[in-house]
Amino acid sequence: MLPPDRKKEDELITKVQNGDVSAFTKLVNRYSEQVLTLAYRIVSSREDAEDIAQKVFVKVYQGINRFRGDASFSTWLYTIVKNECYSHLRKKRPEMISIDEEVELINPVSIEYPDNTSESMDSKMDFQMAVMECLKKLPPKYNLVIQLYFYRQLKYVEIAEILQIPLSTVKTHLHRALKALRKEVLKNLGSRDLKGAYLE
- The parent domain of residue 35 ranges over 4-92
pLDDT tens digits for range 29-40: 999 999 998 888
Residue 112, SS3 per DSSP:
strand
In a domain, 100, yes or no: no
In the 8-state DSSP scheme, what is residue 193? G
Domain boundary among 92, 122, 149: 92
Contact 199, 167 (CB under 8 A): no
Residues 55 and 120 in one domain: no
Residue 100, SS3 per DSSP:
coil
| CATH number for the domain that contains residue 122 | 1.10.10.10
Residues 67 and 115 in one domain: no
Query: In this predicted structure, what is the pLDDT of residue 20?
Result: 93
What would the mean pLDDT of 134-160 be, rounded to a whole number? 84
Query: In this predicted structure, what is the pLDDT of residue 101?
Result: 33
In a domain, 102, yes or no: no
- In this structure, of 86-95, 99-108, 136-145, the range with the lowest mean pLDDT score is 99-108
pLDDT tens digits for range 153-196: 888 988 888 888 899 999 999 999 988 888 888 877 665 444 44
Q: From start to end of 48-187, where are the E strands? A: 111-112
Number of domains in the chain: 2
Inform me whether the pLDDT recorded for 18 exceeds 90.
yes
Residue 111, SS3 per DSSP:
strand
Query: In this predicted structure, what is the pLDDT of residue 55?
Result: 95
Residue closest to 100 by CA, chosen among 147, 164, 44: 164
Residues 126 and 85 in one domain: no
Inform me whether the pLDDT recorded for 118 exceeds 50.
no
Residue 147, SS3 per DSSP:
helix
Residues 140 and 85 in one domain: no
Q: Label residue 98 by pLDDT band (50, 70, 90).
A: very low
Q: Label residue 113 by pLDDT band (50, 70, 90).
A: very low
Domain boundary among 60, 92, 124: 92
In the 8-state DSSP scheme, what is residue 150? I
Instruction: Quote the mean pLDDT of the chain.
Output: 76
Q: Label residue 4 by pLDDT band (50, 70, 90).
A: low
Domain boundary among 49, 65, 92: 92
> Which of 8-22, 98-112, 135-149 reaches the highest mean pLDDT?
8-22
Query: In this predicted structure, what is the pLDDT of residue 3?
Result: 53
Residues 116 and 192 in one domain: yes
Residues 10 and 87 in one domain: yes
Residues 117 and 182 in one domain: yes
